[in-house]
């Protein structure tokens, strides 16, 4: 049997807390048991607080790619023009869904280590008439970058364009709300910053998005991809369109409770601070960040350009096999070009950032790089000056 | 907070074993960690053994209704004629999917307390030309009945018709195999007889079904509903089309191991025997089975006609609130007409059948029915003569 | 590997609730971590409420036999006269401890299916001068009987005698308090009615008992058996005399919370009612209770005389191997004479009493006894008329 | 509620692995259930392998201080002369037990940062006639030092002296065996290097020790402190002298399995290497080890003299409250003089050593010490050159 890693610091799914593990030890309820209706309602309420929204939220079964496909399938009708803002692998993927459901994609793209300029969005929307939807990825996990979604979506709203945002790894990494950020459908995942288990899509849906779904000639209904089914069943009647994943809901309830106990402000700050420390370490080691500037680096993971003479596999495999720490490499087109230090969920903390940077240093030394051991960790430690757990809370 | 039940003996999801709960306490692995690839491969192998098949099996994320929609979406092209065999609520639902993906449904139906006669299937296939697919539900959980799927599908194969079978609650309740039963796509769920958690679809896919999916003009790809994506990614490259539910896979691996440790023969016998004992109890209590004959009663739950003068809600709510046992009522059109004793997973055992029948008796007495207390349990106990756990195994 | 039972309904340790299991999944704290000090303090407070006392309580490490030895070792000095009230195996054992620590035992005994008459205690105390201590077992688990401890200890107090009571399986089975029952040292266990895990001794200590321990010429100190060490360390300084069992304390905290959530009144009523139903079943089956009268039967287990022609081993082994239910037999001198149905913790509920009686019936039928199947369960079900879980609470 | 630490790196109890936590989720068996007899036997066999011994081993309930008191209570008779070798707080405590059971202690002591010289032991044994027993602490956890127990005990054996060794935190930190090290009674704990939960005493007992216990005029029997009771009950009859801690045994079984899966050689090497790295870090930071030389530093924790101008409480509390890492301070006479970095169990690994040293550095910086951040971690990383997890195993 393959030896398991000691720490999973990949870019999602990641290690979950012992409290989250324990939450899944609750007995499996029948989904129409009043106790489960209560758990699900409670979880929905918590999700609204984590999303900081008054919009409806929908917890769909299956990981966020289902939520993204469902959003597009539920909104886009044949012939609809969709502005797809692309700054990475995940953004590019949106095009497949847009085409599959008959949409007509208009692409605005930048290199995969950059972020889109809101002015360019405005320019496209001004130039090209008849755009109904805008799709954009907030935190491009494979590149370790973020787009200025708040600015982009606000511009879209000026033009009456409905926005669909992939914030799968963004929720918890920045202090956002669908209303403030003008996101009509925002899709998040529990297995990234929230530190939960994969298997659910977390959507917030604006009244405008509901209206658009319902206004289609042939609204999508009676399908696993239907977001509207959730409105008419769960939201309006407290019934389920299918059997929900009882245990996954337990885990989600738990991670939302943990985040709110800490407060979203602290939760986000913890991720931002950890990411900053990781970047400081990378620079102190003389390595290059993949993101073209620190300003557009995401808080969920830090993408590092593979140093000359090494390979991503050598780094990842050595770190995994010798020191038991699993990190992620590139993905799709970015494969081989970068490795990603992970600081989502529990890993967004000085203890585990230090452990990870330490093992990263040790690995690079093993592979022949030359630097003063500890210089990366030292830079991270300096960044962490002023940190105080006691300002947050961490309970069991 | 609503008080939780002591036992969940509904018709799925049901109580899981402590071993299954424990399996989910394993750390959440990154899906491309070699240890997870190993777990997923192992689970796939176990599933093949539980399905008793050499066909490919596919573990899709999201509960079986996704698997059913995916099977139809992946196979049925606009204009395809589909014979939909209907003996209950779930069978009728298939029609929605058939129409959604452009199919032309031909319905063969019987009342929802009966089973379809294979001769009628032959008659339809003989009479109506050009039928490409047949859809049928094996175990109609809402009615507590089974269809003779082996005979039906074998006839379909004589006519070159591809079969799609909903055996969500059937796997584990009868000794089946896709090859022997001529099922091209069989869709099962972990949360029924297997006693697992909901959130996955378990498919077996015959070479003919793969061929049919691939032979479409526009094969379904790059969608959460694509079964083909799993062939080209997982089966051929050991990659995932999306992030799998790591923890749900742990639970699935565990319930499959538990079933195989017991042997599928014992596992099925345990369910059949328990169901027989439940029916004996129902008759001894002077109540009526919903199924028109014992021969077509499913082994996963026993549907009982609501006795004159009572309501399903009164029975279910009393049993739940006074004695902590959750059972299910009717569903859709059957709502209000029946209640269902559950004997899936752990509940398929003399201990819990006895506990459940006992609480059912106590509830009926509370609601004013008149019979000798213990007469139902007594009949069940007589049915259990010869039972011997030691012939199976039950470990931790 | 030996197959594990499905239900452990022995006379302690017994099955614990899933909530209790889950409580042990908390990280292991350092015993001087402020969070552990808090847990231990909280647990102590809860224990006071469960004991319904204002006396000090002490949670010693190791199961209650340590607590009993410690109480005697801490109190009894060479030459002290101790009235040992004996109605069973455990009562008789006290004599060993009394002698080991130099005491001079005076025995008042009855047959091991009877209870001691308080008048006889008064008679002995009147007749024999100079008795300093009285030792008595409240609930004699091996015999399934109880002594009238409240009356006995109140009489002892009239004579200025310090009382030491083994209520290991008594706490939770009757509504007691050390003050009301005149118990100077009461020793209970978590693994009986409380449904916890074995490994701790739960003591309540009256001011008179503390005074007596301190007044000895050579007070017992710096020993694992010293109760006084707990006073000077934990009670007075919030320090531990040794490293406490962190995880066992978590489990104890949990079972105390569960009991108090239900309320001690409901908790005790649940045990009494379940015991009554078990006795009704035994009588309906034509079997004999071991206790000479129902009035002195304990609420924690029901001892049944082994029917003529059978052996305890045949009953226990058949029930365990065929139906997965573990019950206990006799102990010490009572070995071979009786079997004990268990209704402690979770098992004190109509569901599991019914399951157990059902499997007991099935076992007796297998072994050749003749009766109408279900007659025992029927009697239990009649006893349970009026039961309503909703009056208590059962949460996760 | 007090915030819990993220990592418990104290000097025992310490964080346990997720595998260990999970092992405790097994149902609580009745102690005379054949499945529990099997678990207990298996655990005993594993313990022999971990102790690398053919001697009998005894698993007593309650933490090791009970085991030590029991060993002395079972061996030492009034008047017996006992050479007590003292190099720290725990060694000094032995005297209390020796006196309590009537022994006549002869002390050979060194300062609490030093180790005893075997030649001095020989000198005392040569000089003072009639010594029957020698007591010595192997790993003095409070001082972070070890005594040369192998040499000491071998000398004792030359003189026919029976040896009683406290190796509570020593088992797993050095490659020992009772036979090779001439330890007649060795007492270990599960909650130190083994990374288990506190609540058990693990004893190995030589034939000579058994003989000495049995040869006493009044052998200790029928007491919780009797080691002989375990011989006549468990070892000879597979019965228990009292109710064992079922769940604690599950945890012990698990940690022993984990250690043996890794192999005792790797297990010990992992601890030794981690300790060396911690010492390298301490020196690089310009701090002083408490132990007078590295050669006598224990592998279970690293005691560091509190730097001038700081207090132990400031260091411990800051590290705990700001960074969530719990470490231990001094104990008894050593209180206030030192802090202890912990590397037992899971913490004996580059990841957690790095995390701990990092937080230690950060804490010292917060408290005003001046050094290049990362210099300690860097030294540890250099020490870890050549480390390779893959040579051990770490599974779930």
pLDDT single digits (tens) B212-262 = 999 999 999 999 999 999 999 999 999 999 999 999 999 999 999 999 999
Per DSSP, what are the bridge partners of residue B109?
B86
Dig out the tokens for D291 from the structure.
């132990």
Question: Phi and psi (nearest 5°) for D219?
Answer: -55, 140
Interchain CB distance below 8 Å, C10 and D1: no
Do residues C107 and C136 touch, judged by C-beta distance below 8 A?
A: no
Decide if D3 touches C, using CB distance below 8 A: yes
Question: Which residues have C-beta within 8 Å of that of residue B185, sequence separation ≥ 6?
Answer: B71, B75, B162, B163, B164, B165, B203, B204, B205, B206, B209, B227
The chain-wide mean pLDDT, for chain D, equals 97
C27/A98 Cα distance (integer angstroms): 47
Sheet containing B104-109: order of strands: B56-61, B200-205, B185-188, B162-166, B131-137, B81-86, B104-109
Interchain CB distance below 8 Å, B22 and D27: no
pTM of the model: 0.98
In terms of Cβ atoms closer than 10 Å to its own Cβ (0-12, 13-18, 19+), residue C126 is exposed
Question: Phi and psi (nearest 5°) for A161?
Answer: -90, 135
Decide if C24 touches D, using CB distance below 8 A: yes
Question: Which residues have C-beta within 8 Å of that of residue B70, sequence separation ≥ 6?
Answer: A224, B60, B201, B203, B224, B225, B226, B227
Q: Each residue of A263-282: pLDDT tens digit? A: 999 999 999 999 999 999 99
Helix, strand, coil percentages (3-state) for chain D, rounded to 5, are 45, 15, 40
Chain A partners within 8 Å of D362 (Cβ): 350, 381, 384-385, 387
Quick one: CA dihedral B375, B380, B386, B387, positive or negative? negative
Question: Which residues have C-beta within 8 Å of that of residue A231, sequence separation ≥ 6?
Answer: A56, A58, A205, A210
Q: Each residue of D247-290: pLDDT tens digit? A: 999 999 999 999 999 999 999 999 999 999 999 999 999 999 99
Quick one: CA dihedral B154, B155, B160, B166, positive or negative? negative
For residue B21, the chain D residue with the least C-alpha distance is: D25
Decide if A229 touches B, using CB distance below 8 A: no
Which of B8, B15, B26, B28 has the most A C-beta neighbours within 10 Å, making it the best mutation to test the interface with A?
B28
Decide if D231 touches C, using CB distance below 8 A: no
Decide if A392 touches B, using CB distance below 8 A: no
Interchain CB distance below 8 Å, C24 and D29: no
Chain B partners within 8 Å of D18 (Cβ): 25-27
B74/B79 Cα distance (integer angstroms): 14
Size of interface B-D (CB pairs under 8 A): 18
Per-residue pLDDT of chain D (396 residues; tens, 9 = 90+): 889 999 999 999 999 999 999 999 999 999 999 999 999 999 999 999 999 999 999 999 999 999 999 999 999 999 999 999 999 999 999 999 999 999 999 999 999 999 999 999 999 999 999 999 999 999 999 999 999 999 999 999 999 999 999 999 999 999 999 999 999 999 999 999 999 999 999 999 999 999 999 999 999 999 999 999 999 999 999 999 999 999 999 999 999 999 999 999 999 999 999 999 999 999 999 999 999 999 999 999 999 999 999 999 999 999 999 999 999 999 989 999 999 999 999 999 999 999 999 999 999 999 999 999 999 999 999 999 999 998 765 544
The chain-wide mean pLDDT, for chain B, equals 97
* pLDDT value at residue D394: 52
| DSSP per-residue letters across A217-262 | SS---SSTT-SHHHIIIIIHHS--SS---HHHHHHHHHHHHHHHHH
Nearest alpha-carbon partner for A288 in A271, A307, A274: A307
Q: Each residue of D346-358: pLDDT tens digit? A: 999 999 999 999 9
ipTM exceeding cut-off 0.95 for this assembly: yes
Decide if C25 touches A, using CB distance below 8 A: yes
Number of H helices, E strands in chain B: 15, 14
SS3 of B204, please?
strand
D273/D387 Cα distance (integer angstroms): 9
Per DSSP, what are the bridge partners of residue C134?
C83, C163
Do residues A135 and A82 touch, judged by C-beta distance below 8 A?
A: yes
Among the partner residues B18, B26, B396, nearest to D396 by beta-carbon distance: B26
Q: How far is CA B316 from CA A33, B192, B319, B326, in A?
A: 10, 20, 5, 7
Question: Which residues have C-beta within 8 Å of that of residue C343, sequence separation ≥ 6?
Answer: C9, C271, C274, C275, C278, C299, C300, C301, C302, C352, C353, C356
Chains that touch A (3 or more CB pairs under 8 A): B, C, D
Confidence of residue A396 (pLDDT cuts 50, 70, 90): very low
**Cβ count within 10 A of residue C159:** 16
Interchain CB distance below 8 Å, D25 and B26: no
A337/A330 Cα distance (integer angstroms): 6
Which of D245, D250, D316 has the most C C-beta neighbours within 10 Å, making it the best mutation to test the interface with C?
D245
Contacts 24+ apart (CB under 8 A), A384-389: A384/A273, A384/A277, A384/A350, A384/A353, A384/D362, A385/D362, A385/D365, A385/D366, A387/A273, A387/A350, A387/D322, A387/D323, A387/D362, A388/D321, A388/D322, A389/D3, A389/D6, A389/D321, A389/D322, A389/D323, A389/D324
A193/A346 Cα distance (integer angstroms): 9
Alpha helices by DSSP H, listed for D285-329, are 312-323
Question: Phi and psi (nearest 5°) for D151?
Answer: -70, -45
Do residues A164 and A200 touch, judged by C-beta distance below 8 A?
A: no
Decide if D262 touches A, using CB distance below 8 A: no
**Looking at residue A26, what DSSP letter applies?**
S
B182/B195 Cα distance (integer angstroms): 25
3-state secondary structure chain C: CCCCCCEECCCCCCCCCHHHHHHCCCCCCCCCCHHHHHHHHHHHHHHHHHHCCCCEEEEEECCHHHHHHHHHHHHCCCCCEEEEEECCHHHHHHHHHHHHCCCEEEEEECCCCCCCCHHHHHHHHHHCCCEEEEEEECEECCCCEECCHHHHHHHHHHCCCEEEEECCCCECCECCCHHHHCCCEEEECCCCCCCCCCCEEEEEECHHHHHHHHHCCCCCCCCCCCCHHHHHHHHHHCCCCCCCCHHHHHHHHHHHHHHHHHCHHHHHHHHHHHHHHHHHHHHHCCCCECCCCHHHECCCEEEEECCCCCCHHHHHHHHHHHHCEECEECCHHHCCCEEEEECCHHHCCHHHHHHHHHHHHHHHHHCCCCCCCCHHHHHHHHHCCCCCHHHCCCCC
Dig out the tokens for A279 from the structure.
């970047």
Q: Each residue of B56-87: pLDDT tens digit? A: 999 999 999 999 999 999 999 999 999 999 99
Question: Phi and psi (nearest 5°) for D391?
Answer: -75, -20
Whether omega before A361 lies within 30 degrees of 0, making that bond cis, reads no
| Residues of chain D above pLDDT 90, percent | 97
Dig out the tokens for A188 from the structure.
């998040």
D-facing residues of A in 336-355 (CB < 8 A) are: 346, 349-352, 354-355
Whether omega before B254 lies within 30 degrees of 0, making that bond cis, reads no
Chain B partners within 8 Å of A218 (Cβ): none
Interchain CB distance below 8 Å, B245 and A248: yes
Question: Which residues have C-beta within 8 Å of that of residue C240, sequence separation ≥ 6?
Answer: C31, C233, C234
Do residues B365 and B279 touch, judged by C-beta distance below 8 A?
A: no
**Looking at residue A294, what DSSP letter applies?**
G
Do residues C185 and C202 touch, judged by C-beta distance below 8 A?
A: no
**Cβ count within 10 A of residue B200:** 31
A192/A197 Cα distance (integer angstroms): 9
Per DSSP, what are the bridge partners of residue B328?
B340
Interchain CB distance below 8 Å, B351 and C377: no
Dig out the tokens for B163 from the structure.
């079969």
Ranges of chain B with pLDDT below 50 = 395-396
Per DSSP, what are the bridge partners of residue C57?
C204
Give CA angle at A132 (A129, A137), nearest 5°. 110
Confidence of residue C392 (pLDDT cuts 50, 70, 90): low
D186/D202 Cα distance (integer angstroms): 8
| Residues of chain C above pLDDT 70, percent | 99
The CA distance from D359 to the nearest CA of chain C, in Å, is 17
Chain C partners within 8 Å of A25 (Cβ): 18, 21-22, 25
For residue D17, the chain C residue with the least C-alpha distance is: C27
| DSSP per-residue letters across D167-188 | -TTTBTTB---HHHHT-SEEEE
| Residues of chain C above pLDDT 90, percent | 97
For residue C375, the chain B residue with the least C-alpha distance is: B374
The CA distance from A22 to the nearest CA of chain C, in Å, is 6
C107/C136 Cα distance (integer angstroms): 10
Interchain CB distance below 8 Å, D27 and B21: no
D268/D265 Cα distance (integer angstroms): 5
Among the partner residues A18, A26, A27, nearest to C27 by beta-carbon distance: A18
């Amino acid at each position: 049997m393959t030896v398991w890693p000691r720490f999973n610091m990949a870019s999602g799914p990641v290690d979950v807390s012992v409290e989250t593990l324990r939450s899944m030890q609750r007995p499996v309820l029948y989904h129409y048991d009043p106790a489960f209706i209560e758990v699900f309602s409670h979880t929905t309420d918590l999700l609204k607080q984590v999303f900081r929204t008054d919009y409806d939220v929908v917890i769909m079964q299956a990981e966020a790619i289902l939520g993204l496909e469902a959003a597009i399938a539920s909104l886009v009708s044949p012939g609809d023009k969709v502005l797809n803002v692309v700054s990475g692998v995940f953004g590019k993927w949106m095009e497949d869904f847009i085409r599959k459901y008959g949409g007509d994609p208009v692409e605005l793209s930048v290199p995969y280590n950059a972020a889109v300029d809101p002015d360019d969005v405005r320019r496209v929307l001004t130039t090209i008439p008849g755009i109904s939807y805008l799709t954009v990825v907030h935190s491009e996990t494979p590149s370790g970058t973020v787009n200025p979604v708040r600015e982009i979506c606000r511009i879209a709203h000026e033009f009456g364009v409905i926005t669909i945002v992939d914030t799968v790894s963004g929720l918890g990494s920045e202090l956002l709300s669908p209303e403030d950020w003008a996101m009509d459908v925002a899709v998040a995942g529990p297995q990234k910053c929230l530190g939960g288990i994969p298997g659910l899509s977390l959507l917030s849906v604006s009244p405008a998005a509901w209206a658009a779904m319902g206004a289609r000639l042939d609204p999508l209904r009676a399908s696993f991809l239907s977001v509207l089914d959730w409105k008419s069943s769960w939201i309006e009647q407290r019934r389920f369109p299918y059997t929900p994943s009882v245990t996954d809901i337990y885990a989600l309830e738990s991670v939302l409770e943990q985040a709110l106990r800490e407060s979203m402000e602290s939760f986000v700050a913890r991720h931002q601070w950890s990411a900053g420390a990781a970047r400081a370490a990378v620079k102190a080691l003389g390595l290059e960040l993949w993101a073209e500037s620190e300003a557009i680096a995401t808080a969920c993971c830090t993408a590092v350009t593979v140093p000359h003479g090494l390979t991503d596999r050598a780094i990842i495999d050595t770190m995994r096999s010798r020191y038991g720490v699993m990190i992620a490499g590139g993905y799709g087109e970015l494969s081989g070009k970068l490795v990603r230090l992970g600081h989502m969920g529990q890993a967004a903390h000085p203890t585990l950032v230090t452990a990870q940077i330490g093992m990263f240093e040790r690995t690079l030394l093993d592979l022949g790089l030359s630097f003063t051991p500890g210089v990366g960790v030292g830079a991270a430690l300096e960044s962490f000056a002023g940190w105080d757990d006691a300002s947050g809370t961490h309970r069991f």
